[in-house]
A and B are shown apart, each in its own frame.
Chain A
Amino acid sequence: MNDSPYWNPRHETMPRDELEALQLRKLTNLLEWTDAQVPWHAKRLRDAGVTADSIQSLDDLRRIPFLTREEWMQGQLDQPPYGPILAAPEEAATRYHMTSGTTGRTPIRVLDSLKDWEWIAEMWCYGFWGFGIRPADVVFFAFGYSTFIGFWGAHYACEKMGCLVLPGGAMTTDQRVKQIAEMGATVVCSTPTYALRMAQEAKALGIDLAGSAVQRVILSGEPAGSIPATKELIEELWGAKAGDTAGMTELGTIMMFECDHQPGGAHIIEDHYIEEVIDPETDEPIPYGEMGERVVTSFGRGFIPVIRYRTRDFVVKVPHDRCGCGRTFDIYDGGIRGRVDDMKLVRGTNVYPRAVEAIIREFSEIDEFQIHLYTAEGIRDEIEILVELPGIPADDPESKKILTALSTALAEAHEGLRFGVKEVDIGSLPRFELKAKRVEDERIVIGTEDERRQT
């Protein structure tokens, strides 16, 4: 059985009708537990007329009210520090983590017990095993271990699987790159942005990453892990297969992973989650193949029941047989496509940073970039892309050619919207270790004059 391509063969290849029956049973168990342990949730369920025994099919899931991040954050403000969502006493916890925290927003704070922490690692095991990682692997984590949950669960998953783990926290980029090469790491875990950053550093140090022992790069933390051009670039620079994963602090771990068949998306771990896709405006379900917002229900972390949580992530779900790996878990084609909140409205056109990055990464000469939004003449939205072009002097005709081609490609993909494209000095744009923040929105007026930014 140890040669199985699946971490849990029984569940990963379970016929869909049995898988859905398993989900239904786990859902009723979760509702019973939540109703008994979390008065705040129990009231919400009662107000909606939902009891565990009233859930007869997965369609009944839609009777349960959504949980939003805003409610969660408000709960924390009302009852600091965790809010009214805990299903077990704080003393039962052994881990504390929090979201990375976007400026001005309250971070989500979470607790886990020993059992929950084992489960968190278990989810990562599905992903690592499914991508071909085995006990003989040497896994380097390019991750600053902190209260941000990031790759913590993955670290424990690799220990559980019997891999040799190299925890690369509190190191500079050049130290990390040297250690990856010197220690013969076969697997590297990082954000897509930082995988590119390490590749740049390796080049500067004269280290041939493509010729190193690294065979697999596990990506997480940003949608870029499933942007084809970004992923191809990472695979080329590292001479390794790159696999996307996605998770969230609210769940404690990943909910999807790319298998080694690399079907252009990631399998949803459906024996531990129900993932719905809805229209973010109407809240109605979206069929296979269409983009919508993902809503997650988790059966794993009992400490903080997560039921119908609005993630604000955009996804496109496709059937499991899109992939030939034999798993019956459905797939998010293209991984996380972006976030509802990331969308920028520029002169009436929707601009998604992920879509912009996908185009920029087609230009291999571009090393780093930033999306800059500003208000021109006090009234007009403008968007410009700042790029670094190492190896090409600014006055070189080749440089102008690239900038023009990029501007044209961006306009064509955005209903003719004019994008300024400007070359900036090498090394002048920020570099990132965790989640990249490549959008600088300095507009005074956002969308309409009624939406004037507070200054």
Chain B
Amino acid sequence: MSAELNQAEAKLVECYRSLETVLREHGHQLAPFAHRNSIKALAALWQIMNGLDQDPGQIYDLGA
């Protein structure tokens, strides 16, 4: 079961996935300010994923 998303919600889901990928694959290329702010943003976007029933899993390994 996964909720049907409207266009705005779908964009946010895409945003989360994109940010997660950046951190997972390219996090080491980011300067501290970019890296830590990305993690903070990911932690906030995770709440949207969770609230939209997207089963975001855990992200402790990324520092969030």
Residue A401 interfacial (CB < 8 Å): no
Is B40 a contact partner of A114 (Cβ separation < 8 A)? Answer: yes
- Max chain B CB contacts within 10 Å: which of A29, A115, A122? A115
CB distance from A267 to the nearest CB of B (A): 16
Given that A114-B63, A302-B60 are contacting pairs, would A119 and B47 also be in contact in the complex, using a CB cutoff of 8 Å? yes
Across the two chains, which residue of chain B brings its CB closest to A300? B50
Query: Is B31 in the interface zone, CB < 8 Å from A?
Result: no
Is the C-beta of A100 less than 8 angstroms from some C-beta in chain B?
A: no
Q: How far is the CA of A8 from the CA of B42 in the complex (A)?
A: 19
Q: Are A118 and B1 in contact (CB under 8 A)?
A: no
CB atoms of B46 and A118 under 8 A apart: yes
The closest CB in chain B to the CB of A18 belongs to B1
Bound-state Cα–Cα, A380 to B42, Å: 62
A394 on the B face (CB < 8 A): no
Q: How far is the CA of A33 from the CA of B63 in the complex (A)?
A: 17
Give the contacting residue for B51; candidates A11, A25, A88, A115; CB below 8 A. A11
Answer yes or no: A170 CB below 8 A from chain B CBs: no
| Interface flag for B12 (CB, 8 Å) | no
Which bucket holds chain B's interface residue count? Answer: 20 to 34
A357 vs B64: C-alpha distance when bound (angstroms): 43
Q: Are A92 and B63 in contact (CB under 8 A)?
A: yes
A10 within 8 Å of B (CB atoms)? yes
Closest Cβ of chain B to A157, distance in Å, is: 11
User: A257 to B33, alpha carbons, bound, how many Å?
Assistant: 37
Given A10-B3, A18-B1, A92-B63, are A33 and B43 also a contact pair (CB < 8 Å)?
Answer: no
Residues facing B in A39-92 (CB within 8 A) are 87-89, 92
> In the bound complex, how far is the Cα of B57 from the Cα of A276, in angstroms?
25
How far, in Å, is A302 (CB) from chain B's closest CB? 5
Q: Pick the contact of A33 from B1, B46, B58 — CB < 8 Å?
A: B58
Give residues 12-61 of B contacting A (CB, 8 Å).
39-40, 42-44, 46-47, 50-53, 55, 57-61
Using CB atoms and an 8 Å cutoff, list the residues of chain A in contact with chain B. Answer: 8, 10-11, 18, 21-22, 25, 29, 33, 87-89, 92, 113-115, 117-119, 122, 302-303
21 A/B residue pairs, CB under 8 Å, sorted by A: A10-B3, A11-B51, A18-B1, A87-B60, A89-B60, A92-B61, A92-B63, A113-B43, A113-B60, A113-B64, A114-B43, A115-B42, A115-B43, A115-B46, A115-B58, A115-B60, A118-B43, A119-B46, A119-B50, A302-B58, A303-B60
